[in-house]
């Protein structure tokens, strides 16, 4: 089996973010050929400004790092909380830096929202999917999910302890693998 590099982005900057922990738990469920790289630089990205991103502009080192990691990943998994009925500003800012450079274009992406509320951050997920669609990311069928009551589904170490959620994650990873394979052929 080919090694698959999966870049993960958590939409939360919190030190004990349940979204970041969820990505850790997802990685633990992945097949052995998956290598997960966590992008932890959302807080280093400058505010998006199109004047700093034109043909003559040189992006900051943080933006260049994000773009390089996205470019070299076989697929991307984004897990976001819901703030004020949408994605957090830091995640939207990161995605704005990618619109013109196109690293997500035709890239398989799994989109997850995880929240303590009973709807699982459904509005954030809908917002994220709209943004990814306009960016021409390949939003993989069966690789989008809302996770309600997130804290009850994770151990303190970030392992997914809810059997139904773990099974949904395994399906998500299997579907992502198929999307990567399809893109290669």
Q: Is 182 helix (H, G, I), strand (E, B) or coil?
A: helix
Q: Is 110 helix (H, G, I), strand (E, B) or coil?
A: strand
pLDDT category of residue 66 using cuts at 50, 70 and 90: very high
d(CA 146, CA 19): 11
Across all residues in the chain, what is the average pLDDT? Answer: 94
Give the per-residue pLDDT at 114.
96
Q: Per-residue pLDDT for 1 more than 80?
A: no
CATH numbers and ranges of domains, the chain: 4-184 (3.40.50.360)
Q: Per-residue pLDDT for 165 more than 90?
A: yes
Q: What is the pLDDT of residues 96-110, one digit of tens each?
A: 999 989 999 999 999
Helices (H), 6-159: 18-29, 61-72, 89-99, 122-134
Q: What is the pLDDT of residues 42-64, one digit of tens each?
A: 999 999 998 888 777 777 899 99
Give the per-residue pLDDT at 59.
79
Q: Is 173 helix (H, G, I), strand (E, B) or coil?
A: helix
Cα dist from 4 to 73, 97, 151, whole Å: 8, 24, 29
Give the per-residue pLDDT at 57.
74
Q: Residues 26, 78: contact at Cβ < 8 Å? A: no
Q: What is the pLDDT of residues 118-144, one digit of tens each?
A: 999 999 999 999 999 999 999 988 899
DSSP 6-27: EEEEES---TT-HHHHHHHHHH
């Amino acid at each position: 089996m080919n090694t698959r590099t999966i870049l993960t982005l958590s939409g939360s900057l919190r030190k004990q973010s349940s979204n970041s922990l969820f990505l850790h738990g997802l990685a633990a469920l992945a097949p052995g050929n998956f290598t997960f790289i966590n992008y932890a630089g959302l807080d280093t990205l400058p505010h998006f400004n199109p004047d700093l991103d034109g043909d003559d502009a040189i992006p900051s080192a943080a933006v260049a790092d994000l773009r390089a990691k996205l470019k070299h990943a076989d697929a991307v998994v984004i897990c976001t909380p819901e703030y004020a009925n949408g994605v957090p500003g830091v995640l939207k800012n990161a995605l704005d830096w990618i619109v013109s450079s196109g690293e997500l274009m035709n890239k398989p992406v799994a989109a997850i929202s995880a929240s303590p509320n009973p709807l699982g951050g459904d509005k954030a997920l809908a917002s994220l999917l709209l943004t990814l669609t306009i960016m021409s990311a390949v939003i993989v069928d069966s690789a989008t999910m809302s996770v309600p009551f997130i804290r009850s589904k994770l151990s303190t170490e970030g392992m997914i302890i809810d059997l139904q959620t773990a099974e949904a994650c395994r399906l998500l990873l299997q579907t992502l693998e198929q999307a990567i394979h399809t893109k290669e052929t």
